[in-house]
Structure 1
Amino acid sequence: MEKTKIISVVFLVIALGIAYYLGSSIYTSITETERIENMENRVINKLSMIREAQIAYQTVNGNYTSDWGKLKSFVDSGEFYLISKIEHIITLDYGADSVYVELDTLGTVSVKDSLFSAKKYPKFNLETLSKIPGTKDAEFGMWADEIEKGGVKVDVVEVWDTAPTNPARNEKNEARTRKPLRFGSRTNITTAGNWE
């Protein structure tokens, strides 16, 4: 009878050890998944800010930039023109329409106040725009150039996370959605993000 009790106690201790190990593994896995999701959401938010800045820069200057200094300077002190556009349609004697457009510049508005207002981005900090959240000094990679598409030169931009939190995200992945978080493309005319 004594042997049976000893064996039972040993099996109980082993069962409790295995249960603790499995429970701990599952908890750690869930916690790590939540941490990665949280960090990726912060990176996506920052990439969205950068995308807005790049689109505004391209609208005002006619091209994208791959220089963080120029982009930050533009966000800090750049301005949009407020333009009123009125179309006039005149019906000609022979039934055709003639259209002329009247443009009037009403004034300017600051890029920083327009795109990055405190209401939209309460914790916006221009100095850390290029920094990847959750890292000490890692910066987003940024590339901008002109490519030829269908015989026409077009501007393209790509900004990507150089230090992904998720170890499954790397450049070797075939699927665009499994590559490090990014928006834009070096080969296509798009500013879509691979998280969308």
Structure 2
Amino acid sequence: MSKTKIVSVVMLVVWVSLAVFLVYSIKSSIDEAKRIERAEARIIEQLKMIREAEIAYMSVNGQYTSDWDKLLAFVDTGKFYLTEKSETIITLPYGKDSVVVDIDTLGTVPVMDSLFKASKWPRFNLATLPYVPGTEPPVKFDVWADKISKAGLFVNAIEVKNPRPVDPSRDEDSEYNTKKPLRFGSRTSVTTAGNWE
């Protein structure tokens, strides 16, 4: 066998090995991106369920809660009051109007039946609501709820975030909110928007 053939065979093996390596590395990075996308979609779904529960808790109790036990008990056994509001306008003798507002309570609806129907949230499970999906050992979402001062008034605020991001590029110190760990709400403003929206 001549030197040229030996060099050609060696170069062919090197090129084939390099091509296989490149294909494998590109495929593995695509597969990892898809895995992260699927995991984050599940986490976002869980955050949306928590947001619905917190907003419902706020509407009934007048504040958000950072206590998972209270939130879970509320979702499990809490009730919404069904009310009917009617207004009567009475014209007073001196030309002004007086408005009388009557609010009648018609009944109650369980929070669980109202918010977490299987048709809307097929993966809803009350026992796993506080936990970040796909983490081993299980990790709870960080929840913060308190009052903050805005324009001289104290208003309710909430923030719920994933303490263990699936995507390694998500960093709490990032200047872009969309690159921070998945969350909804804020400790500094009155919002329940998620940073994925």
Coarse TM-score class (shorter-chain normalised)? over 0.9
Q: Name the CA distance, whole Å, in 2 between partners of 1:38 and 1:52.
A: 22
How many residue pairs end up in the alignment?
196
TM-superposed CA distance for 1:170, in Å, is 1.4
**Equivalent residue runs for 1:10-159 within 5 Å:** 10-90=10-90, 97-136=97-136, 137-159=138-160
TM-superposed CA distance for 1:92, in Å, is 5.4
Identity within the alignment, %: 59
TM-superposed CA distance for 1:100, in Å, is 2.6
- TM-score when scaled to structure 1? 0.95
Q: Name the CA distance, whole Å, in 2 between partners of 1:111 and 1:166.
A: 33
Q: Name the CA distance, whole Å, in 2 between partners of 1:83 and 1:149.
A: 31
TM-superposed CA distance for 1:52, in Å, is 0.4
TM-superposed CA distance for 1:62, in Å, is 0.6
Change (3 A) 1:155 1:3: same
Q: Secondary structure at the match of 2:155?
A: strand
What is the identity, as a one-letter code, of the residue corresponding to 1:147?
Answer: I
Q: Name the CA distance, whole Å, in 1 between partners of 2:140 and 2:180.
A: 17
What is the identity, as a one-letter code, of the residue corresponding to 1:36?
Answer: I
Deviations, residues 125-172 of structure 1 (Å, cap 9, x unaligned):
101001100102111000011111111111111000011000000111
Q: Name the CA distance, whole Å, in 1 between partners of 2:95 and 2:196.
A: 51
| C-alpha RMSD over aligned residues | 1.5
Q: Name the CA distance, whole Å, in 1 between partners of 2:33 and 2:95.
A: 67
What is the identity, as a one-letter code, of the residue corresponding to 1:14?
Answer: V
Q: Secondary structure at the match of 1:188?
A: coil
TM-superposed CA distance for 1:91, in Å, is 5.1
Which residue is equivalent to 2:187? 186
Q: Name the CA distance, whole Å, in 2 between partners of 1:23 and 1:9.
A: 21
Which residue is equivalent to 2:168? 167
TM-superposed CA distance for 1:90, in Å, is 4.4
TM-superposed CA distance for 1:87, in Å, is 2.6
TM-superposed CA distance for 1:122, in Å, is 1.6
Query: Gaps (5+ residues) in structure 1?
Result: none
Q: Secondary structure at the match of 1:158?
A: strand
Q: Name the CA distance, whole Å, in 2 between partners of 1:40 and 1:82.
A: 36
Query: Gaps (5+ residues) in structure 2?
Result: none
TM-superposed CA distance for 1:174, in Å, is 1.2
Q: Name the CA distance, whole Å, in 2 between partners of 1:99 and 1:169.
A: 54
TM-superposed CA distance for 1:187, in Å, is 0.8
